[in-house]
Structures are given as structure tokens and as C-alpha cells.
Amino acid sequence: MIREKIRWGILSTGSIAHSFVDDLQYVPDAEVVAVASRDQATADKFADKHNIPKRHATYSALANDPDVDVVYIATPHSMHAENSIMCMQAGKHVLCEKAFCITAKEAERMIAVAGKKQVFLMEALVTRHFPVSHKVLQWIDRGLIGDIRIVQANRCARGHFRPQQRHLNPQLGGGSLLDVGIYVVGFASMVYRRQPRRAVGYGHVGSFGSDEQGATLLEYENGALAVLTFALRTEAVNEAYIYGTKGHIKIPNLFAVPTRALLRVSGEKEVVFEQEINGKGLNYQVHEVHRCLRAGLLESPRMPLDESLQIMRTLDEIRTPWAFKYPNDAQ
Ligand SMILES: NC(=O)c1ccc[n+]([C@@H]2O[C@H](COP(=O)([O-])OP(=O)(O)OC[C@H]3O[C@@H](n4cnc5c(N)ncnc54)[C@H](OP(=O)(O)O)[C@@H]3O)[C@@H](O)[C@H]2O)c1
């Protein structure tokens, strides 16, 4: 039975876990009841900061906490499958940070456990739930730009990462494709509402042994294309464009906190959609989790599990040409 307030547990205490809990203030029917870290002092510090009543010194204690309905997984990519599966085995619903996991094989295992345990599971691909994304999909569905022929998107960040940090650390599933490339590949998947028949990728493997930057060209039926770039040590403008047979759409700053989308239909005046975003916008995906749980859905129609699996297959294909393996590839 779903309660009036849905009770969240936070698995890990890193940077995005803080932002996520901050943004839950914009979801009135959510409450954070517990947090877990690998270390009691870290869990206590996080709980004190956010006023969370229960704090656990192991992730499994959180998975087995009877006061928790949904667990938010915010560990490094290499641990998403293991952590999600443990929580679902204990009967918890799960919102798992992007990238969903490291390999399509892991995604298959996660989805199988969700089905077996009859719990909700969703990848936290936040971009998809922003008001701007909904508006863009409406424009596309109304046929305003005709048939989509080309999608172009760029997601870059210039970080000064240390080797042990997760971002570029292959042991933790780091690298630009899984960390930020997922956004542009997920965006193409959202816009085309189907998967490419072919993906080619180029990745530059840098001094930490993972891809610092890369590019992919996705080819769809009828020759439609997505041209996507991603990087973790490159300063860039993060924009997305959708080009159709009758017009085009531009979304500035899509992959941070997007507030605008611009529609230009051939021969007509530009239309601008604008909507401010609360906090960092992590709350919109939580509304979707709550909506699904209250409707008795075990997956989100906006971010279906089969799509997360297909995206992982595409990511596997994109990184085939560059010559490094994650530890998870062996499993
Ligand atoms: N949606 C977004 O906008 C967004 C933005 C940034 C990141 N993310 C995603 O969120 C996830 C976490 O990213 P983050 O930037 O928050 O990472 P982070 O700051 O490095 O935090 C990760 C946390 O995972 C836990 N952990 C467990 N095993 C670990 C290990 N072997 N090494 C390091 N940490 C370990 C740690 O918590 P304990 O010490 O408490 O166990 C750590 O604080 C990633 O999947 C990332 O792609 C999403």
C-alpha cells in the first residue's frame, strides 16, 4: 500500500545525494527517512545536515530498513547494478542514478530482479523529466518540425578530477561516455523514440585510463542521424538541436538546468518556451516516481526499462572501438 508520504532512503552520501535531498523539498509528498553510507560517521554527518532520522553504516541495513519505500542509488556507476539488485531483493522500489549501470548484461539482470520482486525501477535520467523536455516532445508529436532527420547534442564538462575520484576512474565505471555521454544518447533515444540500427563511436582514452572525450554517430531507419559529443575535460557550450523536414528546435543548456526551448518552423516567427526550474531540477523525476507508484506502475512510461536496456546496448556498441574494459565487463 502506498502511503500519503512516500518514504525515501538515500544510498550513499556523495555530491548528487546532497542535491537530491535538497530538491526533495519541492515534492510535498516525499520524506527522507534514512540514509546509508559505508561509514557511520559519514552517514551521521549527512543525516545531521539534512535532518534525516535514521542513519545506517551499511548499504544492506538501508535495503532492509522496513521504514523505507524507495531507495535512491547515488553510488559510482560500477556499483549501480549490485546496489539496486540488493535493494530490490529486499523488496524496495529503486530510482538508480544514470548511467543505469556499466553493461547491457547488468541492465538485463537488474530488470529481471525488478520483475521477479514486482518492484518499481527507474533510471534517474533527469533531463527527460524537465518541463522543457515535455514541451519539446509535444512540438514533435504535433508534427511542427515534420520528420526528424538529424539530432545534434553536446554534453561537456571541464572538471579537474583526481585519479581516485569516480569521474575518470575506470575501476568505478568512470569516463565521459557513461558519465555525460549517457545524456546525449538518452536525449536521442527520447527524441526519436526508437533505437539506432547502427552506432559508431570514437573515444580518446586519457592519462587515467578512461575516455576523456568522445563522439558517436547513430544511424536510424531511413538514414536519420544523431551526431553526439561528450567530454569531461573540455569546456564547451551544452546545447541540443533537433532538425526536421519542416523546422527545427534548439534547447540551450539542456543538460544542466534547462529553462528554454526555441521552435522555428520554416517561414514562421520563432516560438520560445520558457519555464523556471526549482532547485537543480532533481525533483521532477521524483514526481514521476510518485506518479507511477500511486498508479500501481512498476516502470515509468517516460523512462521505460526496455529503453534503459536499449540505451545500455548502444553505449556498449559505442565504446567497442576504444580499447579498454571495465571490471564489470568480465561479469
Ligand atoms: N543527475 C545528475 O544531475 C547527476 C549529477 C552528478 C552525478 N550523477 C550521478 O550520480 C552518481 C554519483 O555521482 P556523485 O558525483 O555524487 O559521486 P560522488 O560524489 O563520488 O559520490 C559517490 C558516493 O558513492 C559512495 N561510494 C560507494 N563506493 C564507493 C567507492 N568505491 N568510491 C567512491 N565512492 C563510493 C560514497 O558514499 P559513502 O561514502 O557514503 O558510501 C560516495 O560519496 C553517478 O551515477 C553519477 O553519474 C548524476
Q: What is the pLDDT of residues 148-188, one digit of tens each?
A: 999 999 999 988 999 999 999 999 999 999 999 999 999 99
pLDDT at 62 over 90: yes
Q: Which residues contact 218 (CB under 8 A, 6 or more apart)?
A: 185, 188, 196, 198, 199, 225, 226, 228, 314
Cell 553505449: give the residue: 315
Alpha-helical regions (H) of 54-93: 59-63, 80-89
Atom of ligand 1 nearest to the CA of 73: 11
Instruction: Say if ligand 1 is within 6 A of residue 42 CB.
Output: yes
Query: Ligand 1 atom 43: the closest Cα is on which residue?
Result: 14
pLDDT, average across residues 68-82: 98
Pairing mode, strands 247-252 and 198-205: unpaired
100 C-alpha to center of ligand 1: Å? 13
Second CATH level (architecture) for the domain 6-127? 3-Layer(aba) Sandwich (3.40)
**Average pLDDT rounded to a whole number, residues 100-105:** 98
| Position in ligand 1 atom list of the atom nearest CA 75 | 24
Of 22, 73, 75, 96, the residue with max ligand 1 atoms within 8 A of its CB, to mutate for a pocket test, comes to 75
In this prediction, residue 233 carries a pLDDT of: 94
Ligand 1 pocket test target in 10, 11, 15 with most atoms within 8 Å of CB = 15
Residue 259 CB–ligand 1 contact under 6 Å: no
CATH 3.30.2320.80 fits 131-276, yes or no: no
State the burial class of residue 5 (Cβ atoms within 10 Å of its Cβ: 0-12, 13-18, 19+).
middle
Q: Is the pLDDT of residue 276 over 90?
A: yes
Dist. CA 122 → ligand 1 center (Å) = 17
Q: Poorest-confidence range of 51-55, 190-194, 278-282, 322-326?
A: 322-326
Residues 6 or more apart whose Cβ sits within 8 Å of residue 317: 199, 201
Q: Lowest-pLDDT range, 11-25, 132-146, 254-268?
A: 254-268
Whole-number Å distance between alpha carbons of 73 and 70: 10
Sequence ranges of the domains in the chain: 6-127, 131-276
What's the confidence (pLDDT) of residue 161?
A: 92
